[in-house]
Chain A
Amino acid sequence: MKKLKLLTALAVAGIVGMTAHATGASGFETINFKLTAYASTNDTAKLVKIKITNKDVLNQVEQEFGNVAITNSGAKLALGSGGIFNGTGDIYVLNKTNGVVVDASNVNDNQYQLGFSFDHEATSAPNNGDKETTMAVGHFTFSNASGSTAGDLQGLAKVTETFKNNNSGDSESFKFTGTGNGEYHGTSAVVTGTISTSGKDILDIGLLP
């Protein structure tokens, strides 16, 4: 009986520990880039296949803002508060403790661009219910300061929003599957892949009373 009690206690402690440990950045949606670029080449008969992940995007952002904290271990990309539709749409870099390092969508006085936009939205149950699915035509645009490295993707964006009381606890997940053009130091490329986000405590002031 004592063993049974001990096992029960361990199980309860594990469950408590499991639920108490939360690392998600409140109000932000963490972003994962998983893209593949097929670049032209004059050297071989094959196209050059290139991967583009979060750390590549962070590297580009660091070159724009000149802040080494952007590529420090633990720095991550996140979508700002408000969700994919009703927020500013800005992409931020957060540090290991979820503090904002930089608003990476902030346009300086040059060619730099980074961000999402949408059109042709179709929504399951606007302004009603506790869960909503939206399909939209999404666009992701990036250009570095000189325009020598750039990409413009278009594709299907699926957004799932789950609403709680008084905005607190709202969550959203977003998956964009797109294809488009890239430009890498004078070489043209075709880029394809997915960009996904997920987060909680997303304030969705457009959908709640």
Chain B
Amino acid sequence: MRPKVAIGILVCAVGLLALIIFASKTFRPQPAAVAENVSATAPVTASTTVATVPAAGIPAADPMPIYIPPPPIVTNDPAAHAKYVKQRTEELNDLAMNNDTDSRDAILAELRTNSDKQIRAAALEAAIQFDDRSVVPQLQQIADETEDPDEKADILAAIDYINLPSLTEYLADHPAPAGTPIVRQPPRQRIHRPQAAPTSQ
């Protein structure tokens, strides 16, 4: 084999290797603390493929779910990004109103892996609205892994809030005494703007 051919093959091999390494880094799910960028992952729903493995720092009975999200989609279009954030926030809100562990784990996986700060914030709100203290160990672990001080503080504040007794729990523990005074406020009048001719919906 001539030296020029050998060198050419070597250069091609190195280039291919670099391409593979770049691709693997680009398509790997990002940890919660990574710097903000414009990439966005495709929606992850409660039905997304799940594998569970035990994780350090949380009870063995509550293994850390690992979601395998689809490859991230990079977009530089602010409108497309805003649309994605709005849509994924709505989906997370819907998941928050469920009571099943798949929904809980999907919310937490989004908080842990999504590279988009806005989506992570929406996932944290969904974790709060899920209203189940079983999210706390994983939230604590995510907080421990989060480098952004503001995000870390938000997660820790959310943990404190989730650990509070809920109104439902409080009322169950404090039954209404007989003869509780009625404290009804008078109904307020709503303001309305001048209306154009009504249109059918």
Contacts and interface: CB of A to CB of B under 8 A. Distances in A.
Interface in A93-136: 96, 111, 113, 116-119, 121, 126, 136
B166 A55 contact: yes
Contacts of B162: 51
A56 B188 contact: no
A75 to B, nearest CB: 6
Contacts of B166: 50-53, 55-56
Give the interface residue-count category, chain A.
35 or more
Contacts of B4: none
The A interface is mostly helix, strand or loop, or mixed, namely mixed
Contacts of A198: 86, 89-90
B125 to A, nearest CB: 7
A79 interface: no
Contacts of A48: 165, 170
Interface of A: 10-11, 14-15, 17-19, 21-24, 27, 30, 32, 34, 36-37, 39, 48-56, 59-60, 73-76, 81, 85-86, 89, 96, 111, 113, 116-119, 121, 126, 136, 139, 141, 143, 146-150, 152, 167, 183-187, 198, 203, 205-209
Interface of B: 40, 42-43, 70-71, 73, 75, 80, 83-84, 86-87, 89-91, 93-94, 96-100, 125, 128-129, 131, 161-162, 164-168, 170-171, 174-177, 180-185, 187-199, 201
